[in-house]
Amino acid sequence: MNVAIIGGGITGLFCAHYLMRDGHEVSVVERRSTGSITSIYNAGLLTPSLAPTPKIGLGRILSTYLGRDDPVHISPRQILGNPRFFRTALKKGLTGYEDKIVRMGHESLELYREFFTEVGSRPDLIEGVAAVYSDERDARMAQASLGGELLDEASISRMGFRGFRGGVMFREEWSVNPAKLYKSLWDAVVTHGSAHLLVGDDIRLAAEKGGSQRALVYVDGKEIHCDTVLVTAGSWTRELCRSLGYDPQILPARGLAIVFDTGGEEIVTTPALLEDYGVGLAQHNKTTLRITGFFEMVGLHRVRELQTGSYSCPSHSSFAGFDAKQDGTISGSCALESVVVVRPEQICISL
């Protein structure tokens, strides 16, 4: 089978790797202007147990753009422009889907293990990831639902996180350096692999004429022959699929990646997800601390202005102390890891 994968980030390259391993011919299609920046600056957390996202109530949504006191900001424009998405989220959340998301995450983690064994690469891999909470009761609820090892306040403090009362440790789950993971995938798929790389300024999907459900791919006006199309393009997916009369309801969001030079000091001993804030932290070597916000963070100027000491979230819960000698901030469009599969017979989305 000839497969065109639109989107050459981590998700697209993993799809390409396993499709090629199964004997399929693969073309990776990427926009010239985007490249790999969203993948390189993601959190690098391979944590199936933490994949389900807590429900966001109407009160939380209102507080984020009325008071702007929360570390998470949801734009009113997004709410007004996507009422069906938010209506469904408020009504159902993820209820009934958590087990499916976690199961899919564990299957994905096994594929990562296979890939690392095949290519002989472990991109700054750290085994064991913690989820930490301001309220001990939230940690106990999470441990009862997700499993893992319950952590007390003293254990969390020894890891380098202050102001948190409880947590859960998942020792079988991983944190990796996303930039090095991306390079390992690129080398396996493109540099040393058999994938065809197609880069263009104008990439479009179109429905084949005649009433069929077959999708056609055009790169700078030239049709690309393929039997199946996989769209792994993050928030760009929605724009691509609209030409087929299909809206996957993937909303763009501004995530933030901040990389600090610690001057050789160990700031945190364990990668962690700060569940109250939607922030991930990991230190993969002696000099680099990575902080990743999964949403637009309010009050980021406080980080940029810091010279020494602790960074406090808007709620004044200090979570790490470090010497902020250098920082780099990346802001762009991102989305949940998502794959849209477009076949002649059907169109479906898998999150």
Would you state the structure tokens that stand for residue 108, as one six-digit string? 């994905």
Give yes or no: residues 235 and 343 share one domain.
yes
CA 339, CA 332: separation in Å to the nearest integer? Answer: 19
Residue type, 14: F
Shared-domain flag, residues 246 and 271: no
**Residue 230 falls within a domain, yes or no?**
yes
Tell me if 51 is assigned to some domain.
no
- Alpha-carbon distance 70 to 205, whole Å? 39
In this structure, the answer to whether residues 230 and 343 fall within a common structural domain is: yes
**Same domain, yes or no: 78 and 66:** yes
Do residues 233 and 216 both lie within one domain?
A: yes
Residue 173's SS3 state is: strand
Structural tokens at position 212? 């069929």
Between 72-76, 127-131, 182-186, 324-328, the lowest mean confidence (pLDDT) is in 324-328
Residue 345 within any structural domain of the chain: yes
pLDDT tens digits along 167-202: 999 999 999 999 899 999 999 999 999 999 999 999
Name the helix (H) or strand (E) containing 146.
helix 136-146
SS3 state of residue 200: strand
Q: Comparing C-alpha atoms, which of 270, 258, 262 is closest to residue 42?
A: 258
Dihedral sign, Cα of residue 251, residue 254, residue 187, residue 202: positive
Task: Answer whether residue 103 is part of any domain.
Answer: no
CA–CA separation, 17 and 45 (whole Å): 20
CB atoms within 10 A of CB 223: 10
In a domain, 99, yes or no: no
Query: ∠53-258-139 over CA atoms, to 5°?
Result: 35
Do 184 and 62 have their domain in common? no
The domain total for the chain is: 3
One domain, residues 323 and 189: no
Residue 318: which CATH number? 3.30.9
Q: How confident is the model at residue 297 (pLDDT cuts 50, 70, 90)?
A: very low
Q: Is 184 left (phi over 0), alpha (psi -120 to 50) or beta?
A: alpha
Over residues 199-257, the pLDDT tens digits come to 999 999 988 877 666 788 999 999 998 889 999 988 788 888 888 888 887 766 666 77
Cα(272)–Cα(283) distance, integer angstroms: 10
Judge whether 318 lies within some domain: yes
What does residue 91 show for φ and ψ, rounded to 5 degrees? -80, -45
Residues 345, 222: one domain? yes
- The answer on 22 and 143 residing in a single domain is no
Q: What average pLDDT does range 73-93 have in this prediction?
A: 69
Task: Clarify whether residues 162 and 181 are in a common domain.
Answer: no
In a domain, 312, yes or no: yes
CATH number of the domain within which 239 lies: 3.50.50.60
Residues 324 and 341 placed together within one structural domain of the fold: no
Task: Please give the residue range of the domain that contains residue 228.
Answer: 1-44+177-252+335-351
Domain co-membership, 318 together with 192: no
Encoded tokens for 11: 């998700």
Within a domain: 195 = yes
pLDDT band (50, 70, 90) for residue 324: very low
